[in-house]
A and B are shown apart, each in its own frame.
Chain A
Amino acid sequence: MLRVLTPLFALALGAMLVPAAGLAQGGPLRIEIDEGVIEPLPFAVPDFVAENAAAAEFARNIARVVAADLAGTGLFREIPAEAHLARVTNFASPVQYSDWKAINAQALITGAVSVDGNGRLNVKFRLFDIYSEAPLGDGLQFGGSAANWRRVAHKVADQVYSRITGEGGYFDSRVVFVAETGPKNARQKRLAIMDYDGANVQYLTDAASIVLAPRFSPTGDRVLYTSYESGFPRIYVLDLATGGRRGLDDQPGSMTFAPRFAPDGRRVVFSLAQGGNTDLYELDLSNGRRTRLTSAPSIETAPSYSPDGRQIVFESDRSGVPQIYVMAASGGEARRISFGQGRYGTPVWSPRGDYIAFTKQHQGRFHIGVMRTDGSEERLLTASFLDEGPSWAPNGRVIMFTRESAGAEGAPALFSVDITGRNLRRVPVQGSASDPSWSPLLP
């Protein structure tokens, strides 16, 4: 059974707290992500206060997930509980700022958890700017089923991240990917879905057919992917709530792959290979109408829409080697935007619209990189034997991708990296994994 995507409720703890108007903004507790953080901001997250016995375990675990989310960004550093001078035993008690200043904490997150008779979780939290001796923003409370406790923790961490960085959060999100087992020449592949941090893995298909490159819909309710279950690569759409799925294109004699949703969720752009030639097509999901977008003897593949849905960035070898091009979403003339040395592929438009992430292959190495949408300011973020397939975090600040090791024992794993090139880390997934696609922020 898939975990439900019901919205968690959130409301400000207006009456519970001293109003923080005026103090909530403009304080010194601020990280400018674009500048590239060298010294992570020290924070403390004591175990949340358990307001009844049933909440005890959640109170500790939620604080741990909040801490892991923040520290995992590389922008924050946790001051461990052993170093704390003060204990938070009552959510409503005033904070002794000096106790936290003494251990050099700049941010303090406190919280309280209760579980009602129906198994519903209620989580309150507050964020404090220790040096300003003031709350940063209002307290908030989140509710949800106890089974969704990790999501509640991610919601808290997203709030903290947003308030301190001024950017949207990305912790309450999921990743759909391909779980891989078996030897390199007989790899078995299954679609799988997990929380962004590798928790709660669930499988969406069995290993009977090769599946490739799943892609989330803009609202996170559906997944496009390519499967060989017919014996040929074809694109499918899977509804995550019902588990229902259907093939989107079954023209005999053709193969379809590399699908991606338009921002409106109603259209799909994909590659279709026929007679050895691969071009881009658009499919209208409401009426099944197929429109050809490119018509060239070269390979056109890996299309991705701009966030406004008006343009498509894609990969083509019309110049002789694969390069990145941008065209109108209706097709027509394309403009090449990659001009560096090497081969460029799998361009993906950032959800913020400011960058295009890509795979670059040069002198036997692979890189994940970003460039402006006109191709300027190219920046390579990674280098390895084989990095490919970038996917953007919902806030457009982090990229997840596939890194495959070399040799007969080579296997793929998921990695993430900041768009500054910092904080490269392996996403903790059991076993081999490839082709991540990041969901939007959950409701």
Chain B
Amino acid sequence: MTPISKTLMVVAALAVAGCSNPDRFGSGSGAGMGAGGSGFGMDGVASDPRSVAYFNQTVGDRVLFAVDQSTLSDTARATLDGQARWLMDNPEYSATIEGHADEQGTREYNLALGARRANAAQEYLISRGVSPARLRTVSYGKERPIEICSNEACYSQNRRAVTVIAAGAGV
């Protein structure tokens, strides 16, 4: 076997191990699997306040940001207040907060900006009493837009921090 195909096999093996979460970019669909989910329906039904589906749809899994900004609006804080309450009521879950940017910016800067946004949401949740051990952050920069048009209607939805709930109390 050539060295390069060995590499590809290693990559492929890692991919299988880490690919249980196809819906983690926050499409908002209740049908999506939660992180670590083993199958359809894992998120439960949105009428159950303890379900991940309830968190995603009723509490709201995301907050939006102004251009280039990582400060939290009143609306964002209200959403995060709800997220903090839900997380404290449901201690068996942990969360990864994904920071995203719109496409108007360089790849590198947007990665850093996404990190800022995810951190702003994380800090707020901690300030509302969520244990830091249950939270972690990742930035996707402009790599995973949720809306794909190239104007402000889409950009405003893409400048977001999405709280992705996963089973397990700690990270």
Measuring CB to CB, which residues of chain A are less than 8 angstroms from any residue of chain B?
Answer: 1-2, 183-187, 202-206, 208-210, 212-213, 229-233, 238, 241-245, 253, 255, 257-258, 271, 273, 275-278, 299, 301-302, 315, 317, 321-322, 343, 345-346, 359, 361, 364, 385-386, 388-389, 404, 406-408, 410, 435
Q: Which of B4, B5, B19, B147 contacts A208 (CB 8 A)?
A: B19
Decide yes or no whether B89 CB sits under 8 A from chain A.
no
Q: Which of B11, B108, B146 contacts A229 (CB 8 A)?
A: B11
Q: Is the CB of B11 within 8 A of A208?
A: yes
Chain A residues contacting B5 (CB-CB under 8 Å) are 243
Beyond A299-B109, A301-B108, A361-B105, 12 extra complex contacts between A and B, CB < 8 Å: A202-B4, A209-B14, A229-B18, A233-B138, A243-B2, A243-B5, A345-B108, A346-B106, A388-B107, A407-B149, A410-B148, A435-B107
Q: Is the CB of A273 within 8 A of B109?
A: no
Q: Is the CB of B7 within 8 A of A386?
A: no
A271 to B141, CA, bound (A): 14
Q: Is the CB of A187 within 8 A of B109?
A: no
Chain A residues contacting B25 (CB-CB under 8 Å) are 185-186
Could you give 12 example pairs across A and B, Cβ below 8 Å? A187-B143, A206-B11, A213-B107, A233-B111, A244-B3, A276-B116, A276-B122, A299-B113, A359-B106, A361-B105, A364-B104, A388-B107
A275 to B122, CA, bound (A): 9
Interface size of B as a range: 35 or more
Give me the 10 closest cross-chain CB pairs, A-B, nearest first.
Answer: A276-B119, A208-B15, A243-B3, A243-B4, A278-B112, A273-B115, A406-B150, A243-B7, A299-B112, A345-B106
Chain B residues contacting A209 (CB-CB under 8 Å) are 11, 14-15, 18
Q: Is the CB of A208 within 8 A of B103?
A: no
Most buried by A among B6, B104, B120, B122: B104
Chain A residues contacting B77 (CB-CB under 8 Å) are none
Measuring CB to CB, which residues of chain B are less than 8 angstroms from any residue of chain A?
Answer: 2-8, 11-12, 14-16, 18-19, 25, 68, 70, 103-109, 111-113, 115-116, 118-120, 122-123, 136-140, 143-150
Chain A residues contacting B103 (CB-CB under 8 Å) are 386, 404
Q: Is the CB of B109 within 8 A of A185?
A: no
A183-B148, A185-B148, A206-B8 are contacts. A302–B3 as well, Cβ < 8 Å?
no
**Closest partner residue, chain A, to B154 (CB atom):** A408
**Closest partner residue, chain A, to B21 (CB atom):** A231
Q: Is the CB of B11 within 8 A of A258?
A: no
Q: Is the CB of A273 within 8 A of B111?
A: yes
A435 to B4, CA, bound (A): 21
A231-B18, A243-B4, A273-B115 are contacts. A255–B139 as well, Cβ < 8 Å?
yes
Chain A residues contacting B16 (CB-CB under 8 Å) are 208
**Closest partner residue, chain B, to A240 (CB atom):** B4
A205 to B15, CA, bound (A): 11
A408 to B103, CA, bound (A): 12
Chain B residues contacting A406 (CB-CB under 8 Å) are 150
A343 to B119, CA, bound (A): 24
Q: Which of B6, B108, B115, B146 contacts A276 (CB 8 A)?
A: B115
Chain A residues contacting B138 (CB-CB under 8 Å) are 231-233, 255
Q: Is the CB of B7 within 8 A of A244?
A: yes
Shortest Cβ gap from B29 to chain A (Å) = 13
A315 to B122, CA, bound (A): 26
Chain A residues contacting B11 (CB-CB under 8 Å) are 205-206, 208-209, 229
Chain A residues contacting B122 (CB-CB under 8 Å) are 276
Chain A residues contacting B120 (CB-CB under 8 Å) are 276
Chain B residues contacting A205 (CB-CB under 8 Å) are 7-8, 11
A255 to B108, CA, bound (A): 12
**Closest partner residue, chain B, to A299 (CB atom):** B112
